[in-house]
Amino acid sequence: MKFAAAIVGLLLLASPARAEVDTPTLDSCKRVTADAERLKCYDKAATSVPSPKPSDEAEMGEAGWWIILGSIDIGRDNNITAETGRKREIVERAAAKCGYQAFNDFSMKFKGMASGYNVVVLGPYRSKSAAGNILESVRRCVPDAYVRQTEFAGE
């Protein structure tokens, strides 16, 4: 009887933790259709291992390469609501899990971007390859991120 109890105890210790089984993969998150739920899924799936910080940053106000982590529709009136604020925070937290501090602003402040969005970004970077290196790293936490060349007008 003690032998059977010992075997059961060992099997329980050897089985994977429930949290590991419930952790989504980045690929499974891509199939989630609702924006807020997909961002929550990415937040859960993202690893917490920090990546190296970029050293090839351009100066604010000059043209450069930006990593767009998220574009949140706020309408023509640039209306930031509690819901759009939550979406922004989810994207920023996901980037932070990869060791990056994102910032956000109105899309109209970026040359050539459509107005009516709150964009969450990293950058600017001096070259497309420098931005590409960071993009590769940050996509572990924000798989839909992409690179775009633009200029930030600032305040």
**Domain locations in the chain?**
24-150
**The pLDDT of residue 68:** 98
**Low-confidence spans in the chain with pLDDT less than 70:** 1-27, 30, 39-40, 42-62, 155
**The pLDDT of residue 78:** 84
Sorted by sequence, the CB contacts under 8 Å of residue 75 that are 6+ apart come out as 116
Backbone Cα Rg of the chain: 20
- Tokens 């930031």 belong to 80
**The pLDDT of residue 154:** 77
State the Cα–Cα distance between residues 145 and 154, nearest whole angstrom: 22
